């Protein structure tokens, strides 16, 4: 059974919610990975009919807690707290665990077929974007022209000083590995000069 701590402050709020909602007898906790460095948490009061066959059930501080198997692993050793402040009040998870951050892969990809543009776009959508999402970024496929791939960066990658490193040592290497006809990868994110080499 996973170890889970619910502080007195959180316990008070949860018990109050259970008492106010007729038929609610337990707390469901969820912790899921979404490609970033932190888990996405969910919690809600539920009834016994919400219990699933593979759920892990805990009795923590007198509160029944339902968790799916993955969430129970993600929340091993975690503490659920409740903080009340002038600007922000709510539950907070103090979790020693972190999700595995996707990395740009290695090795062959048998699913990359067709013209170079299609292969590159599929590679970006299925592998590269999940890796840069860990830093809050996105990579947008602009096109392929004369064996050059044109990309634009958004989110946390826009204006990031590490974009050149990410582009040259990660993304460009991976694209050239799997789509060898590609000779260069060009970043067209900064359009302040009004010039875009892809469309010229």
Residue 150 CA to residue 185 CA, distance in Å, equals: 6
Residue 42 CA to residue 120 CA, distance in Å, equals: 36
Global pTM value = 0.54
Residue 77 CA to residue 191 CA, distance in Å, equals: 47
Q: Is the pLDDT of residue 42 over 70?
A: yes
Q: Is the pLDDT of residue 132 over 90?
A: no
DSSP E strands in the chain: the ranges are: 4-6, 26-32, 40-46, 56-60, 63-67, 78-84, 89-94, 137-145, 148-155, 184-187
Which domains occur in the chain, in start order? 4-94 (2.60.300.12), 116-187 (3.30.300.130)
pLDDT in tens, 56-75: 999 987 899 999 999 999 99
Tokens of 120: 């590159």
Q: Which DSSP category does 146 fall into?
A: T
pLDDT in tens, 71-127: 999 999 999 999 876 666 789 899 999 876 555 556 666 777 788 899 889 888 877
* Closest among 192, 185, 196, 130 to 163, alpha carbons compared: 185
pLDDT in tens, 137-148: 678 889 999 899
């Amino acid at each position: 059974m996973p170890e889970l701590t619910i502080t007195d402050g959180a316990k008070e709020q949860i018990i109050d919610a259970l008492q106010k909602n007729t038929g609610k007898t337990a707390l469901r906790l969820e912790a899921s990975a979404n490609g970033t460095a932190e888990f996405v948490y969910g919690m809600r009061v539920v009834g016994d009919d919400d219990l699933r066959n593979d759920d892990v059930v805990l009795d923590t501080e007198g509160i029944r807690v339902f968790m799916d198997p993955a969430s129970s692993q993600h929340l091993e050793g975690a503490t659920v707290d409740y903080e009340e402040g002038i600007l922000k009040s709510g539950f907070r998870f103090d979790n020693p665990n972190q999700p595995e951050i996707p990395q740009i892969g290695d090795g062959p990809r048998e699913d990359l077929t067709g013209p170079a543009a299609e292969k590159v776009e599929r590679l970006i959508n299925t592998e590269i974007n999940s890796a840069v999402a860990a830093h809050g970024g996105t990579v947008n496929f602009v096109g392929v022209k004369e064996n050059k791939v044109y990309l634009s960066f958004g989110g946390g990658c826009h204006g990031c000083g590490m974009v050149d490193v990410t582009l040259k040592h990660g993304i460009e290497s991976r694209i050239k590995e799997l789509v060898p006809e590609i000779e260069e990868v060009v970043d067209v994110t900064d359009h302040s000069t009004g010039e875009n080499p892809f469309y010229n």
